[in-house]
Structure 1
Amino acid sequence: MEEILALMSTAGLIMMEEGSLVEVEVPIKVVGDIHGQYEDMHKLFGIIGKVPEVKMIFLGDYIDRGPQSIETIIYLLCLKVKYRDRIFLLRGNHETPAVNRIYGFYNECALKYGLAI
């Protein structure tokens, strides 16, 4: 758990340094909603390529609905920390407390890690 919190902190600092407007050069792949579909995300990487060979912008909605939201967001944050200039993560509406309480992420966290988080 401590490693996850450290990862979140490091990734958060990187994204805060980037600011709200990030200019990126093409070519770059744009990826839409993943919604906790960890396996599907990896299948997608098999089709479009993997970081660092390919630059990617993810449009948010990484969590909720799917069975592996925690694994999905952890993997994306690891990519962000390792390849900070090759991967860009936008926040979707499911990355807000009000929405992820309704659609499953909160419950997944509580089930796997307890309510103390």
Structure 2
Amino acid sequence: MEPTTSSWTDSACPSWCARAHRLNDHPEDRRHQGPAQLVTLSIGSTPPTDTKDAMSVDIVIHADRPDGSAGEWLRIESTESTDVRLALTAPATRELIRALHIVLEQISR
């Protein structure tokens, strides 16, 4: 999908923006967003008790940047609820991936 521009945009869309921009967009919706990646996760209670207690949650992951902002975010959100909701900077996402990789290696031994 080719992004569109609107009179409220402060700058050109980044190359990854796939969101259509309309003149009447609500101020909170005036943002650039990349294409969503859909993932189904099994999540458990806190603290987890058993894998049989896990529930499936569909999440989307996409790049996000409010119009006029210099900072990009990676948003990870449930599609139907607020069960999962994270907004991470690119450096924070890299650090999370690094830490997840270490923990996965520990349990895979």
TM-score normalised according to structure 1 size: 0.21
Question: Between Structure 1 and Structure 2, which shows a larger proportion of strand residues?
Answer: 2
Question: Between Structure 1 and Structure 2, which shows a larger proportion of helix residues?
Answer: 1
Larger Rg: 2
TM-score normalised according to structure 2 size: 0.22
Q: Which has the higher contact order (CA 8 A, sep 6+)?
A: 1
